[in-house]
């Protein structure tokens, strides 16, 4: 079992839909959870960052962490065509080397006008 599993999609939704993107993980030591957004032919950029469990909201984006289920989610409300991108989850435990950030393989999202 890989440490981080992420459905690669592609996921296609109509404009205005609520989008749910998910990652599961196996390492219970993970404490830091991030979502990166990557537009086509660009580098990833940080979208959301969460420490430990709970929810975090930023505009139309909500990140949720359920450590008991080893499951993280990113919700996008009122999705827009500009949200079309690949979304990568990333996570890390407390301590250890800085090279220990583990990425999911990314989910490609397309929001149709």
- Residue of 11, 49, 56, 84 that binds other proteins (CB under 8 A): 49
Distance CA 45, CA 62 (A): 16
Is residue 16 close enough to count as binding other proteins by CB under 8 A?
Answer: no
Give the interface segment with other proteins, choosing from 18-26, 43-51, 57-65, 67-75 (CB under 8 A): 43-51
Is residue 45 close enough to count as binding other proteins by CB under 8 A?
Answer: yes
C-alpha angle 2-104-76 in degrees, rounded to nearest 5: 135
Distance CA 5, CA 18 (A): 22
Is residue 1 close enough to count as binding other proteins by CB under 8 A?
Answer: no
Closest by CA to 86, choosing from 106, 103, 105, 72, is 106
- Residue ranges in contact with other proteins by CB under 8 A: 8, 31-32, 34, 36, 41-46, 49, 51, 88, 92, 94-99, 101, 103-106
């Amino acid at each position: 079992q890989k440490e981080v599993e992420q459905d690669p999609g592609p996921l296609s939704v109509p404009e205005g839909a609520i989008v749910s993107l998910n990652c599961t993980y196996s390492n219970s030591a993970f404490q830091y959870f991030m979502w990166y957004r990557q537009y086509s032919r660009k580098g990833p950029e940080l979208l959301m960052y969460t420490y430990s469990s709970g929810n975090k909201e930023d505009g139309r984006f909500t990140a949720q962490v359920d450590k008991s289920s080893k499951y993280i989610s990113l919700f996008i409300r009122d999705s827009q065509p500009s949200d079309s991108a690949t979304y990568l989850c990333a996570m890390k435990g407390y301590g250890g080397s800085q090279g220990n950030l583990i990425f999911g393989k990314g989910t490609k999202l397309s929001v149709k006008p």
